[in-house]
Structure 1
Amino acid sequence: MATIRKCRDDYTVGWIAALPIEQAAATAMLDEEHSWPEGFSKPPHDSNSYAWGRIKDKNVVIAILPAGTTGKVSAATTANQLLAAFPQVRIGLMVGIGGGVPRPDDDVDIRLGDIVVSQPSGTHGGVVQYDLGKAKVGGAFERKGYLSAPPRTLLTALAKIQGQHERYPSSVPQILAEMLEKNPRMRSKTAGYTYQGKENDRLFQASYAHIGARTCKDCDPTEEVRRDGRVATDPHIHYGIIASGDIVVKDAAFRDSVLDEVGDDCKCVEMEAAGLISDFPCIVIRGISDYADSHKNDRWHRYAAATAAAYAKELLGIIEGEDLKRETRAMNIMQNSTLDHST
């Protein structure tokens, strides 16, 4: 049981998880767990479940969506309730699993367990709501849903971590090993928080539909996309656009149509991040649990949740404490965004 107790206003990092396995991975990243904060009285309308702790020198509050709820509306509600409950939060992380958009022919070699990070670019913050926009004359489609650029502190950390990884390997494998050492039950769980084996990472042609039950043992191996082997099983990190919408994507043709609409930088599809477009100044981190096709199953979910959480921990370790203190409160950013959208 956590015995360390902090004040409500000590928490400056908000971490949102949509699923219990994502919350488990998040709490397993904490260097120190905290008990119920002093001065915190949960409002009756707050449906979030919270966990608290420290990563390096940052105090983190983790919020999970209510059981059985997914999608952008639930994510937006969770973010709003978190910021109302913990008004000193400066930066946010949305961390969990997502579907990969692999293009091995174009050297976009995304594998199960890899990590995709929303990369701000141009007019957007790295997340695109692919199902929100308006039709224009001539059949064109003007997209309206973009996640705002994250706070400068996160942008600085993103640049710094990418520069470090040009010279040194990521700390994600070490963080995962430490997680399993501290939490041995996570290793023993069936389809657990460990690498699930290259024999269970199979990418099929987009035109080939799944055959059989939950596994791909009955699927035609001649329809499998041939990919070069990797020297190690450590997850790779990809930066680009995360496409977010209201449905679970499990059709390769639809996945590829999203890619065509969003653009070549699209690396991942998921369901929650679009809800944070105006509510939560954050970056989105996704562990790849499937290829958003008919072959998807739950086998890689826990490991993908763990790899995403491990990257989030590495990123938080790079952020300077003084930069975080100077950052504008996320609640203020959200309120200003709401005013902008109402005018």
Structure 2
Amino acid sequence: MAHPRPRREEFHIAIICALPLEYDAAALAFDEIWHEERDGFESTLADYNIYKTGRIGRQNAALMLLPGIGKANAAGVTASLRSFYTELKLAVLTGICGGVPYPESDTEILLGDVAVSKRVVQYDLGRQYPGGFVRKDTVDDNLGRPSKDIRYPRHTPWSE
């Protein structure tokens, strides 16, 4: 049964993908997709953004495809999402994990496995010297601690 299309304020989850392959795969997780009508609901988002809105279980979610790989593209899309969907509680960057390190010999990572990080490390913040790159790694240089809702997801509305 189709659910009525929710208001913008009723979206709490955003899923962001860098590659079309990831975007298409993430869209398969949706139980219902509302983007087809193009009735102006998303029209205030920049036209170059590729997006779908829909429902996963009981949660309304927005799915976005970045216009390209990189932090600048991710920051631009995220800012657009936050200004349009003002009640977002969780934004997830999902993909094929091109950056997953090789696991130890007793650990196997397979297609379809879900890897969730405990923290975010900005690996490219630093200075390039003639002898190599030196990453800034003081407390002031690094990203802040994730919110309690992220660290303990069982107690959040989207874990129901």
- TM-score of the two chains, using structure 1 as the length reference: 0.38
Question: Tell me, what secondary structure is at the counterpart of 2:149?
Answer: helix
Question: What are the equivalent positions in structure 2 for 1:1-343 lying under 5 Å apart?
Answer: 4-35=4-35, 40=41, 42-43=43-44, 45=46, 47-66=48-67, 69-99=68-98, 100-105=100-105, 107=106, 109-113=107-111, 114-119=113-118, 126-134=119-127, 141-143=135-137, 146-157=142-153, 160=154, 319-320=159-160
| Contact 2:14 2:88 (8 Å CA) reproduced | yes
Partners of 1:32 and 1:141 in 2: CA distance = 44
Task: Label 1:317 to 1:45 Cα distance change in 2 as closer, same or farther (>3 A).
Answer: closer
Any unmatched runs of 5+ in structure 1? 120-125, 162-315, 321-343
Task: Label 1:20 to 1:317 Cα distance change in 2 as closer, same or farther (>3 A).
Answer: farther
Letter in 1 for 2:33: E
- Which of the two has greater helix per residue? 1
Bigger mean CA deviation after superposition, 76-85 or 148-157: 148-157
Task: Label 1:57 to 1:147 Cα distance change in 2 as closer, same or farther (>3 A).
Answer: farther
| Contact 1:8 1:38 (8 Å CA) reproduced | no
Partners of 2:24 and 2:70 in 1: CA distance = 19
- The Cα of 1:87 is off from its aligned counterpart by 1.2
- The Cα of 1:129 is off from its aligned counterpart by 1.7
Task: Label 1:94 to 1:38 Cα distance change in 2 as closer, same or farther (>3 A).
Answer: same
- The Cα of 1:81 is off from its aligned counterpart by 0.9
Letter in 1 for 2:126: G
Cross-structure match for 1:253: none
Letter in 1 for 2:124: D
RCO greater where, 1 or 2, for CA within 8 Å and sep 6 or more? 1
Question: Tell me, what secondary structure is at the counterpart of 1:115?
Answer: coil
Partners of 1:38 and 1:88 in 2: CA distance = 21
Question: Tell me, what secondary structure is at the counterpart of 1:153?
Answer: helix
- The Cα of 1:6 is off from its aligned counterpart by 2.0
Task: Label 1:5 to 1:18 Cα distance change in 2 as closer, same or farther (>3 A).
Answer: same
Task: Label 1:142 to 1:3 Cα distance change in 2 as closer, same or farther (>3 A).
Answer: closer
Task: Label 1:54 to 1:129 Cα distance change in 2 as closer, same or farther (>3 A).
Answer: same
Partners of 2:28 and 2:145 in 1: CA distance = 28
- The Cα of 1:73 is off from its aligned counterpart by 1.0
Letter in 2 for 1:132: L
How many residue pairs get aligned? The number is 150
Larger Rg: 1
Identity %: 31
Bigger mean CA deviation after superposition, 144-153 or 14-23: 144-153
